[in-house]
Structures are given as C-alpha cells and as structure tokens.
A and B are shown apart, each in its own frame.
Chain A
Amino acid sequence: MSIAPPRYAAESIVRVGRGSRIAAIFEREVGARAGVGTWLVVAFAFLSNILVLLIRIVIFPSEPVGLSAFSTPYGGTLWPLEILLVTAATGAGSIAEDLASRSITLYLSRPIHLVDYLGGKAAGLAFWIGLVAMGPGVVAAIMAAALGGVSASIALSAILACVGLGLLATAFFTGLALALSAWTARALYAGVAIFGLILGLEISVLAIWGTTGNAQIPYLSVFVDLQNVAYYVFQSPGITSTYPGLSAVYVGAAGAFLILLTWLRLERVEVVGE
C-alpha cells in the first residue's frame, strides 16, 4: 500500500467566449446605473424632446415639414445638457465605485483582460447615454409618422440622423465619463469633474471667441460641434457650418482619446488597501 496526497482533478467545462463575459459585465453595469437619478434624467429627456418635436412637426407644422424639422432640439443646448446630466448620473461612479470598494479586484482577478472589463463598462454606460442621445429622436420620428405629421421616408431619414448624431455624442460622453471615473475613487469628484470640464470648456470657448473673433475657436466646444453635425445631418437650411465633418472628427477623436486614456490609466492602477 502506498500513501499519496490527494490530487486535484479539474472539471472539463466548456467556457463561453469573451463576448459573453463582457456581456455579464455590461448587464451588471446597466443594472448598477439604473438609479432614481438616472431614470429622472431619462424621463425628462424623452418628455422634453418628444414634446418639442411633436409640437414642431405635428401640432404646429411649418410648411413643408421636412427632415430639418427634426433638428429643433438638437440645435439648442438642452439636448447636450441632458446628455451631460445622464453622463454624470451614470458615469461618475462607473469605475470610481469599483476602485473605492476595491471590487475591481474581483473582476480583474478573473481570467479576463482589462480591455474586456473596460468594454463591458463602456457598453453599460453607452446604453444609458445612448438612450438619452438617440431615444427621444427615434421615438418622436416614429410617433410623427404614426400621427401623419411626416412621411415614412422622412421619418426613416430622421431616425438614421438621430442614430448617427447620437452615436457620436454617446462615444464622446462615454469616453469622458470613463476617463474621469477611472481617475478617482470618489464618484462625487468624478461627477463634478464631468460637469466642470464640459461647462468650463463651453464658457471658455465662448469667452475666447467673443474676444478674438477667431472662427476656428468654436470647434473646441463640444456643444457647438454637436450642433454643427446636427444641422448637417438634419439638412437645416441656412444654418450650415463650414466644416461639419471636422466637428464630427473632433468629437469622435476626443471620445476615442478619452477611452485610450482610461485604458492607459487602468493599466497602471494597483488596488491598494488603506
């Protein structure tokens, strides 16, 4: 007889792919951000934008009602402000809370890559930001078509324009939220930074533009860039930016840069106890 220590026998389990693992993080992130504040911002965004669009298109239509009628909420500052609100409500705690509770260790001690974690988080945030950025326009277009305010083809064009513009805004604000949330373990600081950075940028751009009159300065404003792209995609007559493509590239590139910044930051994050 021989005595041998017990041996561990690994079970043979078929593991699902990376997509499913990212989906698990995405689902949790969507659930985590579904607070009262988030729902209030989403409800306000839907009500205000749909109301504005239906008043403009169905109740008091100007003749003829075309695609440009859908640009109404997107040409002002209410829409980007709503996105900013939902970004702060959902994004401030996204990574900061994981760092504060150090629950990030539980994710990253699993066999996943940092990019998977970041991808799940980004997708979860993009869900909420995209809901506010695209949802009201898409619903309003469908309602306007259903109520006979516009033709089906115009409604479809409006939906495509809303989605295109919304995706651009979603990419930028998701990147912004992740970058600032990854920089601190305090969600409140991240929320203040999200507001402070964007509103500070807008005020600075306006001030510098007013002083210098340089026509290139407004391109530094995210709000102005989104308006430029909105006017272009909704084909608003008489309100055309010189370079709407440049605005789109600025916003898209800034979003990509912010996500890259987040990745670089998290790659260096070490979870240290008190």
Chain B
Amino acid sequence: MTAVVEALGATKRYGEVLGLNGFTAQFGPGITGLVGPNGAGKSTFFRLLAGQLRPDAGTVTMLGHPAWGPSAFRRRVGYCPEHSAVFDWMTGEDFVTTLLRVDGYSRAEARERTQRALATVDLVDARHRRLRAYSKGMRQRIKIAQAIAHDPELLLLDEPLNGVDPVGRSRLLTLFGDLARSGHHLIVSSHVLYEIERLTSEIVMITNGRALAQGNVHQIRELISNRPHTIELTTSDPRALARALSEWEHVTAIEFPGPGRLTVLSRTPAEFYQRLPEVVVKSGIDVTGVRGADDNLDAVFRYLSGFG
C-alpha cells in the first residue's frame, strides 16, 4: 500500500497531557476512517496534518511532505476542522471565495469555484447570509465547501457530520463516496462508528493517543482470536437448533435473547458459517436470519479498547 499519510511515533504533549503518544499509522488511498472516542487524539492528529501543531517527537508526512510548516503542497490538501473556525461577519460566499483567493485563485476563478462548492453542499440559497446566522449544520457544510472548493487531492475531514441533519448527513456521505471514486483521498474522523462504516471498511483505531489497530475492519475482527465471535440467529425452533449447535467444539456459549432468537458464541466463525447449512438441511430447522453481531466497527472497537 502506498501511504498517502504516514505517522511514525508522532507524539504531542499539551503540558502534562499527552494528545498523541507515539502514534504510528499509515493511511492509504481512498477513504480511511480515523475512529476513536472523544479525547482519543483524533483532532490532535488532524491539527498536526494541517500544520497547526508541531510534533514533539516522531514524524508526520502527508503526500510525501512533512506536515509541519507552510509549503506549496498544502494547495493539494483540503482541511475541514472540527471546531467552528468561521469568520462570523462574512457571508458564506465571501468566506469560501476569500479562502480560495488565499489559495492562489484569481478573483473570477474563486467566485466560480465558490458557486460550485456551495451548490455541492446545498448552500446556494444561503450564500448571502452572514455566517453568524448559519445553523450548526450549515456551518459544518460551509466548512466542507471551503475544504473541497479547490479540488484537493487529499481531504482531511475532522468530524465532518457533527450537527448535520439526517438528510444532509446522507448527502455528505454520498459526496465523500463520490470524491473517493474520482480518485481523491479522504481521512474522515468520527466517534460515531456507524457513519464511518457507511463510508469505508479501511480504518485506523485510536485511543489514548495511540493507534490501536489499522486495516480492514473485518480483517481486524478476525485477528481478535482471544474473544469468541457473537452470531445471532433467527429461527422457528431455537431450542432444537441450540441442541444441534452445542455439539460443535468451537461453540462456547448459547443464549436465548428472545422468542425465535438464538445467540451463539463461536471461536471460529468461518467454520461456523461453513457448517451451519449442513445442520439446517439435516435437522430441517427453519433458520430465517444469520448475522455476525460483532463483525462491525463498534464491536471491534469495544474489544480492542477493552470496553467490550
């Protein structure tokens, strides 16, 4: 994998508090989710990438350049910070246009690109309103507009969906997907795991300033061998199915969470899924649903961080 962004032992202290603690991770092409609870170090990492913080130790490189300090390569990067960071007295249109001009676009080109970016985030009608009159969701969208307006190769999106209404959320997720499909690289942070799951399965998990795991969420889950996997089954005869499954060596526990439902803990889910059809056919039990309950980001994160 060619790393678009790479952190090697990146450490950042705020006095006695460690914002990042030897954070090492690689972010490849396409969309990578940076997930972790509040205070895990996600925003600190983004600020390091945005050149707003200098690492106390280690290195952070982005598109092959050190992240700290000003450089021409920054025009290849779009940054949407987590915090408000807007000029309240400006109109939405002026805000995006000004930042595009700072990026090096002529006045005319900046205006044209601003219109496109505002249309993308559905803020054309509000373009002449001052930002102080924008709702939280609108502010979020205007920050995304300024981040994408110059068509950057790499987008750094720190909690980009915070405060955005469900319709806007869905549109933005579609937009991020479209950007990735057109060759852009996105690093998206969120503490809402299902949002990241909708976008990508490539993740970097962070907690207490350290990378907990990175890669494909399903692969990461498979690597956790010391915890049995939870599989939920929906069936017409839970007790009969439980009897059949209890003979399998890798099944460590069976629970009945509700009528017609069965929860099985298996040490080797691959084998479980392979043998389940055989049992169903032999016993004639009607199984209407099978779901890997913890083959998702939330469960993986809980396991890895010790909260599971």
Contacts and interface: CB of A to CB of B under 8 A. Distances in A.
B71 A111 contact: yes
Interface string A5-43: 111111101111000110111011001100000000000
Interface in B45-101: 47, 50-54, 70-77, 79, 81-90, 94, 98-99, 101
Given A6-B181, A7-B183, A109-B50, A21 B102 contact: yes
A113 B70 contact: yes
Interface stretch (B103-111, B160-168, B205-213, B258-266): B103-111
Given A10-B153, A112-B70, A272-B14, A105 B52 contact: yes
B103 A111 contact: yes
B238 interface: no
Contacts of A20: 101, 104, 106
B47 A105 contact: yes
Contacts of A112: 70, 102
B81 A15 contact: no
A23 B109 CA distance: 16
The bracket for how many chain A residues form the interface is 35 or more
B81 A111 contact: no
Nearest to A27: B98
Summarize A's interface: helix, strand, loop or mixed.
loop
A240 to B, nearest CB: 46
A106 B151 contact: no
A249 to B, nearest CB: 33
B146 interface: yes
B104 A106 contact: no
B67 to A, nearest CB: 10
A28 B90 contact: yes
A110 B81 contact: no
A103 interface: yes
Summarize B's interface: helix, strand, loop or mixed.
loop
B214 interface: no
A106 B79 contact: yes
B43 interface: yes
Contacts of B33: none
Contacts of A192: none
Interface string A93-115: 00000000111011111111110
A218 B80 CA distance: 52
B127 interface: no
Interface in B147-185: 151, 153, 180-185
Nearest to B182: A6
A114 B52 CA distance: 12
B85 A103 contact: yes
Contacts of A28: 87, 90, 94, 98
A102 B85 contact: yes
Interface in B100-157: 101-106, 109, 146, 151, 153
Given A13-B109, A273-B82, A111 B74 contact: yes
A130 to B, nearest CB: 22
A246 interface: no
A10 B152 CA distance: 8
Contacts of A6: 180-183
Given A8-B184, A8-B185, A24-B98, A108 B52 contact: yes
B269 interface: no
A114 B70 contact: yes
A239 interface: no
B281 to A, nearest CB: 36
Interface string B26-53: 0001100000000000010001001111
A63 interface: no
Contact of B53 (A106, A110, A272): A272
Given A13-B105, A110-B74, A272-B53, A105 B79 contact: yes
Contact of A25 (B73, B89, B102): B102
Most chain B C-beta atoms within 10 Å of own C-beta, residue among A9, A15, A103: A103
Contact of A111 (B50, B75, B101, B183): B75
Nearest to B77: A109
29 contacts: A6-B183, A8-B153, A14-B106, A16-B104, A20-B104, A31-B89, A31-B90, A102-B84, A102-B85, A105-B47, A105-B50, A105-B52, A105-B79, A105-B81, A105-B85, A106-B85, A106-B99, A108-B50, A108-B52, A109-B51, A109-B52, A110-B74, A110-B75, A110-B99, A110-B103, A113-B70, A114-B70, A272-B47, A273-B83
* Nearest 6 interchain pairs by C-beta: A15-B104, A24-B101, A8-B183, A6-B183, A111-B74, A271-B52
